[in-house]
């Protein structure tokens, strides 16, 4: 089996699974309990929070745990909107945000908020001039992803942060779910960023664990109310085993990260060079200014799901676009926002690599690709 769908989810490291199992079996106490088992659980929860904070270069008090990226995005977008509603009701997103952000903002429109989508260029990057023109005196929130999940374009966060520097009343949220391990942390967790969201299963952690960075002093309305966990901002008993395992996953992911990124980038380059040789291949991703792990392409006139299933017959697993949209057989929303013709957008297939992939797998993939290409393009 060759697994090239790592942007959808990654396989947990063996060490991560061991940490999860050890924690779940040995530390069964609730961190909110007063007895010794609860105290032990609290210590591990605090240690995991410190590890996340150290790896991200922030304070422990700025790290909060959720059930995943979708909850984190919902919490930040809704929580900031509710917290700042008296000041203004205008929100700006990029046109290529993940549904966890875009659909949350769409719901806020039904609650009386205004939402503008900043357009992107033909290459999939936020148009800075158009974005700047959308800012208003009543703008309260800007949400832009770090790495696009469908084509891998790295968004111009530094330029956006510079524009927002003189607008302290505008909260800046970055969906960084696809960024950890693919970019340097300093590339997306900029000083001007107020909130950032992450999901553990994107960096070899378990499913069901998310992380929210909330800059000290920034206010947000809780999404969940209850027992007062997470400083009264996210009530529910913490997933201690998952959190401890996720902290281990992030440490392992960021270990020798430059070497890993170079390995992934080289694999992507080899595939890209081969794809360029075939005149019916449509390329939607590149090397420069794109994440090292995501390569999206299409075969002219062939729907993406046909190509995905053709590779699956050889136990090679790709995706059409994002995992959230792949089963809907819809054109990639990012490509539509880039004004790619619909007949081309529906051909999109996403390869998403990982440092655990090998050059041997790349060679096998390319051999199968040539066969599939000849069979489908006649």
Which residues form the catalytic set?
A: 324
Helix, strand or coil, per DSSP, at residue 83: helix
The answer to whether residues 181 and 259 touch, using CB atoms and an 8 Å cutoff, is no
Reported for 156-165, long-range contacts at CB under 8 A and 24+ positions apart, including other chains, are: 156/125, 156/126, 156/128, 157/187, 157/188, 157/190, 157/193, 158/190, 159/128, 160/126, 160/128, 160/131, 161/190, 161/191, 161/192, 161/193, 162/192, 163/128, 163/131, 163/132, 163/135, 164/192, 165/192
H-helix or E-strand containing 196? strand 195-199
Give φ, ψ of 143 to 5 degrees.
-130, 115
For the chain, the residue count is 378
CA dihedral 10, 11, 15, 17 (to 10 degrees): 110
User: How many C-beta atoms surround the C-beta of residue 268 within 10 A?
Assistant: 24
Question: Nearest-5° angle of CA 328, CA 330, CA 332?
Answer: 125
CA dihedral 40, 42, 44, 49 (to 10 degrees): -170
Q: And the tokens for 92?
A: 């700006």
Helix axes 240-254, 36-56, angle to 10 degrees: 30
Kindly give, in sequence order, each residue whose CB lies less than 8 Å from that of residue 197, ignoring residues fewer than 6 positions away. 69, 72, 73, 76, 173, 174, 175, 176, 177, 210, 211, 212, 213
């Amino acid at each position: 089996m060759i697994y090239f769908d790592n942007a959808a989810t990654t396989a947990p490291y063996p060490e991560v699974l061991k940490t999860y199992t050890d924690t779940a079996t040995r530390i069964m106490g609730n961190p909110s309990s007063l007895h010794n088992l609860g105290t032990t659980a609290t210590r591990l929860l605090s240690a995991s929070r410190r590890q996340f904070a150290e790896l991200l270069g922030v304070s422990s008090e700025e790290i909060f745990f959720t059930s995943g990226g979708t909850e984190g995005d919902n919490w930040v977008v809704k929580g900031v909107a509710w917290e700042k509603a008296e000041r203004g009701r205008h929100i700006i997103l990029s046109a290529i945000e993940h549904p966890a952000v875009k659909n949350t903002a769409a719901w806020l429109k039904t609650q009386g908020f205004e939402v503008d989508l900043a357009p992107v260029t033909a290459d999939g990057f936020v148009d800075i001039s158009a974005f700047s023109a959308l800012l208003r005196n009543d703008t309260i929130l800007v949400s832009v992803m770090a790495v696009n999940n469908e084509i891998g374009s790295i968004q111009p966060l530094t330029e956006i942060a510079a524009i927002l520097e003189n607008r302290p009343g505008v909260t800046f949220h970055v969906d960084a779910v696809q960024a950890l391990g693919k970019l340097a942390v300093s590339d997306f967790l900029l000083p001007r960023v107020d909130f950032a969201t992450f999901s553990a299963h994107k960096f070899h952690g378990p499913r069901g664990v998310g992380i929210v960075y909330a800059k000290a002093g920034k206010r947000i309305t809780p999404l969940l109310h209850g027992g007062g966990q997470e400083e009264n901002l996210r009530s529910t008993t913490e997933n201690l085993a998952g959190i401890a395992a996720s902290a281990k996953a992030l440490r392992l992911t960021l270990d020798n990260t430059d070497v890993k990124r170079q390995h992934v980038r080289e694999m992507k380059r080899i595939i890209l060079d081969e794809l360029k040789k075939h005149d019916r291949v449509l390329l939607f991703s590149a090397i420069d200014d794109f994440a090292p792990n995501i390569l999206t392409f299409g075969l002219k006139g062939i729907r993406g799901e046909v190509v995905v299933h053709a590779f699956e017959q050889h136990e090679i697993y790709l995706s059409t676009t994002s995992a959230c949209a792949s089963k809907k057989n819809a054109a990639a929303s990012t490509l539509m926002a880039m004004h790619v013709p619909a007949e081309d957008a529906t051909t999109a297939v996403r390869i998403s690599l990982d440092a655990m992939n090998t050059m041997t797998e790349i060679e096998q993939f390319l051999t199968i690709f040539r066969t599939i290409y000849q069979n489908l393009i006649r």
